[in-house]
Amino acid sequence: MTETEFRKIKIDDTIDVEDIFGNLDANLRLIKEATGAEIIQREDYLLIRGEQPDAAERILEELIALVRSGERVDEQKVNYIISLQESGMSYAEQNVSRDVICFTSRGKPIKAKTIGQKEYVNSIRQKDVVFAIGPAGTGKTYIAVAMAVSAFKNKEVQKIILARPAVEAGENLGFLPGDLQEKVDPYLRPLYDGLYDILGRESALRLKEKEAIEVVPLAYMRGRTLDDAFIILDEAQNTTQEQMKMFLTRMGFGSKVVVTGDVTQIDLPKGKKSGLTEAAKILKNVKGIDFCYLKDVDVVRHEMVKRIIKAYDAYYRKGERR
């Protein structure tokens, strides 16, 4: 086959092809698996041939645009762009990662990484109450914390409140060592981790001492009315129906509420219905409330997480759960 039968893509001097190809050409292998196309470098251009050269060319052009904009291209990003192409969508055209939510204490910009995450961010900006429902690894909690920090820094709210239900999973809280705070802290650790990553540990602890930030078990919310606050309820699938109603009615003037959860990981005792699944039915048409449903394609952790989620979903859909 001659070079004239190859599809060509010009690569300018500002692009390092290793950033596109990935470690040991891992990205090229992903493109080949998806399109059957072979990609070869020749001086300042790439040659494409194979079963779906058009699809491979579109994917490569997206990757080149990402590298040119300074974004890091990893296997997760390549897989996501491939899945979008298969659905007839473009990562670049959706402007997914152009909007910076805020910066971490180390100066790293926090952005949406998928279309689902971008829609989630937009919902939080536009609505007073937002429910984010989806599997592990889709950034539900992290984005909510980043949006809360952004609102606090912009003086849109005066405090941030992060809550979680302390559901006992195999261990009784009463038998765990330590005082009450030490017993519930492990349940709140993921919320602390998000705060420390975004604000820095010292800054987060300082704001916590000033009570500008509260990280509390859900039970501590009872009887309060919270004005000018950004309130996040995490792991909401493990709230009871009564707890969910109690939490949502804590909202005061000038406040914003984000509720996150994964309805496939309910740890409530047998016979107890999830407050999250009930709220999704009762509140779906209420003005000012939005529901964002993130999917396995929005998983931004290790690629294996996405595969595991897909395998479990397929297993349960077949009704094989024992």
pLDDT band, residue 320 (cuts 50/70/90):
low
Mean pLDDT of 160-179: 61
- Give the pLDDT of residue 280: 95
Whose CA is closest to 116, among 300, 293, 302?
A: 293
pLDDT tens digits for range 245-288: 999 999 999 999 999 999 988 888 888 899 999 999 999 999 99
Tokens for 65?
């645009």
Asked if residue 166 has pLDDT above 80, the reply is no
- Which tokens belong to 294? 């993130």
Does 36 score more than 60 pLDDT? yes
pLDDT of 142-164, one tens digit each? 999 999 999 999 999 999 999 98
Between strands 7-10 and 37-42, the pairing is unpaired
pLDDT digits (tens, 9 = 90+) for 222-252: 888 899 999 999 999 999 999 999 999 999 9
Q: What pLDDT, on a 0 to 100 scale, did the predictor assign at position 182?
A: 56
Residues 125-146 have a mean pLDDT of: 94
pTM: 0.81
In Å, how far are 116, 152, 210, 211 from 207, measured between CA atoms?
31, 11, 5, 6
SS3 readout for 11-75? CCCCCCHHHHHCHHHHHHHHHHHHHCEEEEEECCEEEEEECCHHHHHHHHHHHHHHHHCCCCCCH
Give the pLDDT of residue 187.
66
Cα–Cα distance, 81 to 92 (Å, whole number): 9
pLDDT at 168: 46
Rounded alpha-carbon distances, angstroms, from residue 281 to 59, 142, 242, 277: 39, 25, 15, 7
User: Where does the pLDDT of residue 1 fall: very low under 50, low under 70, confident under 90, or very high at 90 and above?
Assistant: very low
pLDDT of 18 strictly over 80: yes
Is residue 131 within 8 A of residue 292, CB to CB? The reply is yes
Nearest to 68 by CA among 114, 25, 8, 20: 20
Average pLDDT (66-79) is 84
Task: Please give the average per-residue pLDDT across 67-80, as a whole number.
Answer: 85
Q: What is the pLDDT of residue 143?
A: 95
Amino acid, res. 196: Y
